[in-house]
Structures are given as C-alpha cells and as structure tokens.
C-alpha cells in the first residue's frame, strides 16, 4: 500500500480534477484505491459538487468517507478560518491526521487544501500534515501556464527530502509557454508528468513495487 499526498501550488490549479482522473484510471486497472480529504471548505452558494463529492465519485466511496461530515465548512476560506467565522470548534493537524482511516487498499490518495502553506488547521498546513501521514509520494499539481516555474520552485520547498512528482495540469504540447516551462522544470531536476495516463502508469508501477 502506498500513500500519495496531493498538494497544489495554489488554489484552483485542478488537483481534485487530477485526483479524480487518476483514481478512476487506477480503478480501471483493477487497483483498490481510496481518497481522503481531511478537511474541506467551500462556497455553499456555488453550484456543483464539493471536492469530497468528486473524489468519492471517482473511488466509489461515500463523500463522508472521503471527508468526515464534521470537517465540511460551508465558507470559501481556509478551513480553520472558516471554522472560526462559523463559530465552530478549532482543530489541529493532529486531529485531522487522527481521523484518517482506511482498510486494506493498494493506494490512499490524500488531498490537501490550497497551496502548501495554506492553513489546514489552527497549527499547520500541508507540509505539517505530511509529517503526520508520512506519504510515500508527494504529487505537486501546478498549472502549466505563466508563473509555473516560480510556483513549483516555491511550493516544492516545504517537501524537501521527500519524493516529489510535479504534475503540469492543462498541459498543451503545442503551447510554447507550457513546453518551455516543462523544459526548465526538468532542467531544475524536477520529476515531471504532463498527462494523466502517464501518471496512472507511474502510480500503478510504484504500487506494484511497494512492499
């Protein structure tokens, strides 16, 4: 069993979309996968599913299995800030990590919130969560366009010493900016993936090699 921590360089880079596509792909290859989002905040007036709903649809789970019902905060702000403004109890990274459970599976996909330094709890962020869940792999999802090189360099820093794979979402081989960004990141030494199928291949192989 492997643990994958999915982190974005920022909000709205598509990490939930990437997660759903990858998890569906792995399920299609016969792997037993689950998704976990320790906490989520959202705009209740915005139509469409929450991140937990999307990930649950991809894995065949119930949304409350993906994100515990008491960790849904209907306010579009960082979860601990939303909790405070909603006059709900505060919580720590240890609380979120302690609520994560799963059975005998091949892969656990743990999605964080916002960027790596976005608050996840009163005392920490995605990098702090990583110290609790001990992921085998950190997937850093970034947009492929302008600003990506800077965003990836900054966002990868808190995960120094861990195995990090960068996913360029919305990548278009015919786009000069996207292609140049990819070249620079590879030159910087980043392990880079630019499409979901390749990422599914990588994770399937990684899972097969896991003890």
Residues acting as catalytic residues: 37
- 147-to-14, 105, 175, 182, 183 alpha-carbon distances in Å: 15, 37, 14, 12, 14
**Count of Cβ atoms closer than 10 Å to residue 60 Cβ:** 13
DSSP 91: -
The total of other beta-carbon atoms located within 10 Å of residue 16's CB is 24
Residue 27 vs residues 17, 42, 57: alpha-carbon distances, Å: 15, 27, 12
Do the strands 40-41 and 191-193 form a parallel or antiparallel pair, or are they unpaired?
unpaired
Residue 93, CA distances (Å) to 99, 144, 163 in order:
10, 30, 21
Distance in angstroms between the alpha carbons of the first and the last residue of the chain: 7
């Amino acid at each position: 069993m492997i643990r994958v921590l999915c982190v974005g360089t920022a909000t709205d880079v598509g990490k939930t979309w990437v997660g759903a596509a990858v998890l569906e792909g792995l399920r299609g290859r016969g792997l037993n996968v689950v998704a976990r989002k320790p906490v989520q905040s959202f705009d209740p007036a915005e139509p469409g599913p929450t991140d937990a709903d999307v990930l649950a649809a991809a894995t065949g789970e119930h949304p409350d299995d993906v994100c515990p019902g008491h960790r849904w905060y209907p306010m579009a702000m960082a979860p601990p800030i939303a909790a405070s403004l909603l006059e709900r109890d505060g919580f720590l990274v240890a609380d979120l990590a302690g609520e994560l459970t799963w059975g005998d599976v091949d892969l656990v996909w743990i999605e964080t919130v916002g960027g790596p330094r976005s608050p996840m709890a009163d005392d920490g962020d995605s990098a702090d969560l990583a110290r609790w869940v001990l992921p085998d792999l950190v997937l850093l999802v970034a947009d492929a366009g302008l600003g990506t090189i800077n965003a990836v360099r900054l966002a990868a820093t808190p995960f120094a010493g861990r195995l990090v794979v960068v996913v360029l979402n919305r990548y278009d081989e015919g786009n000069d900016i996207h292609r140049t960004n990819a070249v620079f990141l590879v030159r910087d030494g980043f392990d880079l993936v630019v499409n979901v199928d390749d990422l599914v291949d990588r994770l399937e192989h990684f899972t097969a090699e896991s003890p």
